[in-house]
């Protein structure tokens, strides 16, 4: 009886390591899906206002230049 009792409660190192890995795995399974909806801070834009202003300046300026050069030849 004493032999069965000690064999049941004494674990080898590999069994303890396996049980610990299983416990960590089970804990990760129960935590799955409990991530907050948004992890980003408030208004985080990918480009700054200076770059955006430069882009608008180039687009509007090039459109103005092209429309001015195409209308120079036409006089009605």
Are the CB atoms for 11 and 19 separated by under 8 Å? yes
For residue 27, give the nearest of 37, 15, 39, 19 by alpha carbon. 19
In the Cβ-directed half-sphere of 22, how many Cα atoms lie within 13 Å?
6
pLDDT in the model for residue 40: 59
Whether residue 10 is predicted with pLDDT greater than 60 in this model: the reply is yes
Residue 28, CA atoms < 13 Å, CB-side half-sphere? 6
| Comparison of pLDDT for 75 and 60, the residue scoring more | 60
Question: pLDDT higher for 2 or 67?
Answer: 67
User: Is residue 18 pLDDT above 80, yes or no?
Assistant: yes
Considering the entire predicted model, what is its pTM? 0.38
Rounded CA-CA distance 8/53 in Å is 74
The pLDDT of 10-21, averaged and rounded, is: 84
């Amino acid at each position: 009886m004493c032999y069965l009792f000690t064999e049941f409660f004494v674990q080898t190192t590999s069994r303890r390591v396996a049980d610990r890995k299983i416990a960590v795995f089970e804990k990760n399974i129960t935590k799955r899906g409990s991530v907050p909806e948004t992890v980003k801070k408030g208004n985080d834009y990918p480009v700054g206002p200076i770059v955006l202003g430069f882009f608008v300046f180039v687009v509007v300026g090039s459109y103005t230049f092209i429309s001015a050069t195409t209308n120079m030849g036409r006089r009605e």
